[in-house]
């Protein structure tokens, strides 16, 4: 009769979106053990076909790494997200990245957050995968991630509260 104690699906579900265009793949397929073994959390990656990187969903920028290769977000449902650009790119000291947001900025999947120079990254012998990790997977779970080509802004799936 009354659903006072029932969780609202709208408050606990939130879609994640492709941060760039390219080939979507499971995090276990990333050529980096820290990510592929889910040491930092569960997620997915995109082998980018564009240098433009957008937010993965609606929320707030919580930090921008000094080396510009990573940005963290807290989504509106409380999920904590790490967006990591490239593999072993911390060693590049920010050179191939132009971050367009700062801590405290509100974002949506339409918000450009960075530009990465894929050619410069490849020229340094680094991978260009753009990776999303949900770092608080004790509270949230991701949908199954099928390998497929995606466009920036395409819905990947809904993250759900456990």
pLDDT digits (tens, 9 = 90+) for 72-130: 999 998 999 999 999 999 999 999 999 999 999 999 999 999 999 999 999 999 999 99
Rounded mean pLDDT, 25-52: 96
**Active-site residue, 69 included:** no
The pLDDT, as a whole number, for residue 58 is 94
What does the H/E/C string look like for the chain? CCCCCCCCHHHHEEEEECCCCEEEEEHHHCCCHHHHCCCCCEEEEEEECCCEEECCCCEEEEEECCCCCEEEEEECCCCEEEEEEEECHHHHCCCCEEECCCCCCEECCCCEEEEECHHHHHHCCCEEEEEEEECCCCCEECCCCCCEEECCCCEEEEEEEC
Fold of 12-161: Glucose Permease (Domain IIA) (2.70.70)
Asked if the model's pLDDT at residue 11 lies above 50, the reply is no
Global pTM value: 0.91
Report, as an integer, the average pLDDT of 3-19: 62
**pLDDT band at residue 13 under the 50/70/90 scheme:** low
The catalytic position among 84, 89, 92, 109 is 84
Whole-number mean pLDDT of the chain?
A: 92
């Amino acid at each position: 009769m009354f659903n006072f104690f029932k969780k609202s699906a709208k408050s606990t579900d939130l879609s994640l979106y492709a941060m760039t265009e390219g080939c979507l793949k499971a995090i276990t397929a990333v050529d980096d053990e820290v990510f592929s073994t889910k040491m930092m959390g569960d997620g997915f990656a995109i082998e980018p076909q564009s240098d433009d990187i957008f937010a993965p969903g609606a929320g707030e920028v919580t930090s921008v790494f000094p080396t510009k290769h990573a940005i963290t977000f807290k989504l509106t449902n409380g999920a904590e997200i790490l967006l990591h650009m490239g593999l072993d790119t911390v060693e590049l000291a920010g050179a191939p990245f132009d971050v367009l947001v700062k801590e405290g900025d509100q974002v949506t999947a339409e918000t450009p957050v960075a530009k990465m120079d894929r050619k410069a990254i490849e020229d340094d012998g680094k991978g260009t995968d753009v990776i999303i990790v949900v770092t608080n997977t004790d509270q949230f779970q991701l949908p199954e991630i099928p390998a497929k080509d995606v466009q920036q802004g395409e819905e990947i799936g809904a993250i759900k509260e456990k």
